[in-house]
Amino acid sequence: MQSLTVLGATGSIGASTLDVVARHPDRYRVFALSGHRRVDELARLCVRFTPRYAVATGEGGAARLRELLREAGSRTEVLDGESALAEICAHDETDTVMAAIVGAAGLAPTLAAARRGKRILLANKEALVMAGHVFVSACREAGAVVLPIDSEHNAVFQCLPPAAQADARALDAGGVRRLLLTASGGPFRERALDDMHAVTPDEACAHPNWSMGRKISVDSATMMNKGLELIEASILFDVPEDRIEIVVHPQSVIHSMVEYLDGSVLAQLGNPDMRTPIAHALAYPQRIASGVGVLDLPRVGRLDFESPDPRRFPCLRLAREALRAGGGAPCVLNAANEIAVEAFFEGRVRFTGIAQVVERVLGELPAPGAPGDVAQVLDLDAQARAHARAALERIPA
């Protein structure tokens, strides 16, 4: 029986995780759940999954959750305060942590899980991009196992030789030449270029293949999501930037590929439904049912591929540059992007302004050294956010 903590239980990945878990009550017990603003939903999940602990991080959330749970007669204990997220991850009675908080807020609890050697199902790519090697070393020191949830990285993982699944440092010995990450191209792959500045948040969130949270949906539309995933792949699989290629594949049926020295290319296919990578990571190295329907290839009909258009997707170039620059540049890229996307939702910057903000901040903080510990990561993150806020003042809304 695995005892599971779900960070970000009220989000899109959280919901898909609990959907899979509910299909296997004999294998998984929910130990703790966290949510931020949707306290009513969190309360409903507590009643359904009876975790021992729940954490509501939004303002006034804990008090409201306590009240709702008392009314419902739930025995779940509500924990308070900043440290509560780390506490439910590091607790002796949980062995697996689903890291599905969006953005930098997920870093501290995910690191707490790493330091206690937990099995980490990693959806929160921003935490990995900002903390990179600090996170990887914490995992290595404590023996934490990281299983990627991002569909591309999960696909790559599935296509790797077993020795490289156990330790990314064995990729070369396993004959791996390159990783090929697929990208749908998002909702604006074919939109007129001179119309891109007028894109609205709702249009940006209407992804053609995947249903996801709003921040990652905008990242998919700018393709910053693929940029973050490029960095994520480089860190997780210990592969340099020039051995990771991005291929646009509008059907989102091939979730990514691994190319070997002998010319073989292994791919993982499936319907675009996050319950597949989630079930894979939950059960690894076994397989369990996920609720995802069979892939009907005749109905899919064809699989198309193209190279990403650099004029349409400048964020992809910025992410590559940040990865090549190394050190703290990926952390700066991520922080600037989080601020720019937030501003886009609030109507303070245009869609095309997101890349402009990120580019400016990268230019203003060139080649920051690699943060050596979490305090340095958070410090650099804060600096980059301040620069991004200042840049927003200078970029027309």
Q: Is residue 150 part of the contact set for Mg ion (CB under 5 A)? A: yes
Q: Are 367 and 329 in contact (CB under 8 A)?
A: yes
Q: Which residue is nearest to ligand NAD (CB)?
A: 11
Question: Cα separation of 277 and 196, whole Å?
Answer: 32
Residue written as tokens 């998919």? 220
Q: Which of ligand NAD, Mg ion, none does 280 bind, CB closer than 5 to 8 A by kind?
A: none
Nearer to ligand NAD, 39 or 257 (CB): 39
Tell me which residues in 328-387 interact with ligand NAD (CB under 6 A).
Answer: none
Q: Are 365 and 387 in contact (CB under 8 A)?
A: yes
- Minimum CB separation of residue 55 from ligand NAD in Å reads 8
The 8-37 contact track toward ligand NAD, x by CB under 6 A, reads xxxxxxx--------------------xxx
Residue written as tokens 């959330």? 61
Nearer to ligand NAD, 91 or 125 (CB): 125
Q: Which of ligand NAD, Mg ion, none does 125 bind, CB closer than 5 to 8 A by kind?
A: ligand NAD
- Minimum CB separation of residue 151 from Mg ion in Å reads 5
Among 20, 123, 199, 204, binds ligand NAD (CB under 6 A): 123
Distances (CA, A) of 178 to 90, 262, 270, 358: 35, 12, 21, 28
Q: Which of these segments, 121-129, 174-182, 279-287, 389-397, binds ligand NAD (CB under 6 A)?
A: 121-129
Strand partners, 277: none
358 closest CA partner among 388, 313, 395: 388
123 closest CA partner among 212, 26, 22: 212
Nearer to ligand NAD, 101 or 156 (CB): 101
Q: Which of ligand NAD, Mg ion, none does 102 bind, CB closer than 5 to 8 A by kind?
A: ligand NAD
Give one DSSP letter per residue of 7-50, joined into a string.
ETTTSHHHHHHHHHHHT-TTTEEEEEEEESS-HHHHHHHHHHH-
Nearer to ligand NAD, 13 or 257 (CB): 13
Q: For residue 145, with 0-12 CB atoms within 10 Å meaning exposed, 13-18 middle and 19 or more buried, which class applies?
A: middle
Q: Are 145 and 2 in contact (CB under 8 A)?
A: no
Q: Which residues bind ligand NAD (CB under 6 A)?
A: 8-14, 35-37, 57, 100-102, 105, 123-126, 150, 210, 212-213, 215-216, 274
Binding site for Mg ion (CB under 5 A): 150-152
